[in-house]
Structure 1
Amino acid sequence: MMHFQTDNLTQNLVALAHHYDHGDCEPLHTHTTTQLLHTISGVLRIDTPSGSWVVPPGRGLWIPAGIEHSLQATGSVEVRTLFLDPLARADLPGECGVFSVSPLLRELIVAAVDIPNQVKPGSRDERLVELILDELRSLPLLGFHVPVARDKSLHQLCDTITQRIDHPWSISDAAQLLNVSERTVSRKFHQQLGLNFGEWLRRQRLLRSMELLAAGHSVIEAALAVGYESPGAFSQVFKSRVGLSPTEYLQTPASDVDLGTPAPAS
């Protein structure tokens, strides 16, 4: 939703409901406001100069004011968005991140859609806005993020791997493509991406598999498409990160999705 690109909020918060059809895109843009995207159904992919995020049902994405980003929808996507005054609270998060939407926050976001553009002081609507802002002060950010490399050669390597994500990539393959040692590859990933090669690859595969499942692919198709030799191995990794098996993820109604915190990387 490309609102508030040049204009400013006249109050602390505005909430909107929106629908995206499969394949809908929004080009790179920024907002004068902080934005919270809460996905009810379908999957959103958000790309910024520093990384990519996938927002499955039951999750939210926090985008601070001024962060350039683009959007792509996978599946039929229902989303609730909050546009917030960046100065509404001094301790709101200052970086992009996917987070788990608690049942309380989910209901508050849904209720906020009916709040009028002009909130009366002392009203129930004002108290709802204040409660939402309090709930947003400490969001549990999750590892559904794939950072982007600044170095040209590493960026090209990541693009090559992403375009052939079904290949059984190893750090040895990466070293050969860059014509450097495995140790150098490992150092580059840690320095520029803050992740080791294996963790970066797992996240890239996880995000792509979420998009494929949301687009209607079967578990077997998604597993093979992102480089797993068997649906069982794929399901094990998927469940350790998402909290549900791929089959449960496909079958769970959007209103019931509460994914919890991903397990630490193996």
Structure 2
Amino acid sequence: MDKEIDLRPEHGESTPRAVAVLATDPAGDAFIPPHTHRRGQLIHAISGVMLVSAAAGSWVVPTGRGVWVPGGMEHQIRMAGEVRMRTVFVEPGTRADLGSECRVIHVGALLRELIVTAVSLPLDYAPGGRDERVMELILDEIEAAPALSLYVPMPRHARLAALCEELVRDPSLPATLDEWASRLHMNTRTLARLFQRETGMNFGAWCRQARLLLSLPRLAAGASILEVALAHGYESPSAFTAMFRRTLGVPPSQYLHRPG
């Protein structure tokens, strides 16, 4: 069973400075229940994998990546295995280019080291000195970081969203356009158009993306490729590996361990 933890965001939001960086190292498979922050935040996985979920979708955050969550957006975080999380809190209005939507970014070596360094800085660091320059450079690097396609968009259509949530909760479930159309009492062409309009993806692509990204926490927790493939709706490890390589560029054995 996941261990529910209290993130206590006020520690990163009550500081008089525009940027604050905090460390959270929960034990085991932890869960942070739905909550909001007044400040925007970059949630960075130094190790492990996180699944960050909000109304708009789910973002998979493996080691060496981070997800930007704008202020005021309700979200929850589920962690796989031993996760070491570093969070950059940013006061609203500090940088307009940080964006008003969630996105996963690549955290390069420089940004990672800046975040690690900033954890040890006081929350009320002196303005105009080295500490403030470290924080400003962190913001520069977040703005410049490339966005990654580690994203499962969720439809707003209530009945369709309910079916999508079923698959997210259990990726091993069989799913076909015909079956879902029958459950929604519509024809397949209508469902196909609805799905494309609501998510920006066709039905098959969405299912493959969801299953693939949701497999990352299991891989990070040490499950075998055979276990993960079968638990996420693939007929064989080779089929899973081929889809993984085609989508993410490397086989699953390499992806989680490549440098961030």
| Alignment TM-score > 0.5, same fold | yes
Give the match for residue 236 of structure 2.
230
Give the match for residue 115 of structure 1.
121
Letter in 1 for 2:176: S
Give the match for residue 93 of structure 1.
99
Contact 2:12 2:22 in 1 (8 A): no
**Which segments of 5 or more consecutive residues in structure 2 lack a partner in the other structure?**
1-6
Residue 164 of structure 1: CA displacement?
Answer: 4.8
Aligned equivalents of 2:165, 2:19: Cα separation in 1: 38
Give the match for residue 257 of structure 1.
259
1:70 aligns with 2:70: no
Residue 4 of structure 1: CA displacement?
Answer: 2.7
Greater CA drift, 75-84 or 187-196: 187-196
Contact 2:21 2:88 in 1 (8 A): yes
Contact 1:92 1:137 in 2 (8 A): yes
Aligned pairs, number: 254
**Which segments of 5 or more consecutive residues in structure 1 lack a partner in the other structure?**
259-266
Once the two structures are superposed, residues 66-87 of structure 1 have per-residue CA deviations (whole angstroms, 9 ceiling, x without a partner) of 0101111111001111111122
Secondary structure at the counterpart of residue 63 of structure 2: coil
Give the match for residue 24 of structure 2.
18
Query: Structure 1 residues 164, 39: CA separation in 2 closer, same or farther (over 3 Å shift)?
Result: closer
Give the match for residue 208 of structure 2.
202
What are the within-5 Å matches in structure 2 for residues 24-63 of structure 1? 24-63=30-69
Contact 1:36 1:61 in 2 (8 A): yes
Once the two structures are superposed, residues 153-191 of structure 1 have per-residue CA deviations (whole angstroms, 9 ceiling, x without a partner) of 212222343455324433222222223222111111112
TM-score normalised according to structure 1 size: 0.88
Contact 1:6 1:32 in 2 (8 A): no
Secondary structure at the counterpart of residue 26 of structure 1: strand
Give the match for residue 4 of structure 2.
none
Query: Structure 1 residues 90, 249: CA separation in 2 closer, same or farther (over 3 Å shift)?
Result: closer
Contact 1:157 1:178 in 2 (8 A): no
Aligned equivalents of 1:60, 1:161: Cα separation in 2: 24
Greater CA drift, 83-92 or 158-167: 158-167
1:180 aligns with 2:186: yes
Once the two structures are superposed, residues 32-82 of structure 1 have per-residue CA deviations (whole angstroms, 9 ceiling, x without a partner) of 111111101111111112211121101101011101011111110011111
Letter in 2 for 1:257: P
Contact 1:93 1:139 in 2 (8 A): no
Contact 2:31 2:77 in 1 (8 A): yes
Contact 1:45 1:72 in 2 (8 A): yes
Letter in 1 for 2:193: R
Query: Structure 1 residues 240, 22: CA separation in 2 closer, same or farther (over 3 Å shift)?
Result: farther
Give the match for residue 193 of structure 1.
199
TM-score normalised according to structure 2 size: 0.90
Residue 136 of structure 1: CA displacement?
Answer: 2.0
Letter in 1 for 2:259: V
Aligned partner (choices 225, 237, 255) of residue 219 of structure 1: 225
Aligned equivalents of 1:201, 1:86: Cα separation in 2: 35
RMSD: 2.0
Letter in 1 for 2:218: L
Secondary structure at the counterpart of residue 163 of structure 2: helix
Contact 1:41 1:79 in 2 (8 A): yes
Secondary structure at the counterpart of residue 117 of structure 1: coil
